[in-house]
Amino acid sequence: MIKILVTGSDGRFAKILKKINSKYKFIFRNKKQLNVLSATSIINNFKRFKPKLVLHLAGLSRPMNVHEKNISKSINLNIIGTCNIVNQASKRKIKVIYLSTSYVYPGKKGGYTENDPLKPWNNYSWSKLGGECAVQMYKNSLIVRLCMTEKPFVHSKAFANVKSNFIFQEDAAKIILKILNKKGVINVGGVSQSIYKFARKNNKKVKKIYSKGEFPLRTDMSLKKLKGLLKNAN
C-alpha cells in the first residue's frame, strides 16, 4: 500500500480525507507533529514514515484579510513552508502534491487553462503562487489549482455576477485521489457558474450580492485536461 504523508491534518480538507476509504495509506500530521518551518521536523517525519508521496495541505487560508494584515505569517506558512517541504522531498525523491487555487489566474476572461498567464489578485493568491514556484522546480510533483468550499455552503451571501468552478471539498477529494499519479498542473473544480447559483443549490437562504470590483468576475477555469484524464482513468 502506497504511503502518503499529509501535512496540516487539522485543516478542513484533511478531515474530509480521513473519512474516505482509499487504496492509499494516509499518515496525517498536524502542525505540532510536523512543523513546516523546521527542516529537522520535516526530515524526522520523512525518515520515520518513509512516504512515497507528501500531500502538502499545511498553510494559511482564512480569513482572507489575514494575508493583508500579517504578510510575514502568510509568507512563512504558504511560501517558505512549502519551499521547505519541496526541498526535503526532492532530496528523497518523494513526490509532492500541492493544492493551489484558481485565484492565481487574473480573473478577467474566465475559462483559464493550465498554460494561461498567471496574475494573482490578492495576497492570498500571491502566497499560493509563491508556493507553486518551489513545486514547479521539482518535476516529481503535481500542482492542483482548485476552487472548493465546505458543505453546506457556509456563507450567508454569494456573488451573482462572479463566475467560478466552486466544488465541495468531498467531491474535490474524490477527484484528487484519482489523479495522484499525474504530474504537472491540473485545474480541478465543478461546473462553471455564478457563486450564487452554486450556493443556492445547497443553501436556499443564501442572499444575492454583486461584486463591485472587490472580487474578480471571471475566476472560472477550463477543466478540459481534467476531464480527459478522468475519462482515460475509467
* 104 and 153 Cβ atoms separated by less than 8 Å: no
Task: Tell me if 25 is assigned to some domain.
Answer: yes
- pLDDT band for 29, please (50, 70, 90 cuts): very high
Tell me the per-residue pLDDT of 51-87, one tens digit each, with 9 for 90 and over. 999 999 999 987 778 999 999 999 999 999 999 999 9
**Residue 161 resides in a domain:** no
User: Are 225 and 186 a contacting pair, CB within 8 Å?
Assistant: yes
Helical residues (DSSP H) of the chain, grouped into ranges: 12-17, 39-49, 66-69, 71-74, 81-92, 123-137, 169-178, 195-200, 224-233
The answer to whether residue 223 sits within a structural domain is no
Average pLDDT, the chain: 96
In a domain, 155, yes or no: no
pLDDT digit string, tens, across residues 138-174: 999 999 999 999 998 989 999 999 999 999 999 999 9
156 is a domain residue = no
| 53-56 and 163-164 beta bridge pairing | unpaired
The SS3 of residue 220 is coil
Count how many residues are written for the chain: 234
Q: What is the structure's pLDDT at 62? A: 78
C-alpha cell read off for 184: 504537472
Q: Is residue 213 part of a domain?
A: no
Per-residue pLDDT, 63: 77
Whether 194 is covered by a domain: the verdict is no
Write down the pTM of the prediction: 0.96
Residue type, 125: S
Q: The CATH number of the domain where 87 resides is what?
A: 3.40.50.720
Span 181-221, pLDDT tens digits: 999 999 999 999 999 999 999 899 999 999 998 899 999 99
Average pLDDT over residues 132-142: 98
- Which residue range is the domain that position 48 belongs to? 3-149+167-188
- The answer to whether residue 234 scores a pLDDT higher than 80 is no
Place of cell 455564478: 194
Q: How many domains does the chain have?
A: 1
Q: CA torsion, points 197, 227, 101, 108, in degrees to nearest 10?
A: -60
Q: Is the dihedral of CA 177, 218, 60, 204 positive or negative?
A: negative
233: pLDDT strictly greater than 80: no
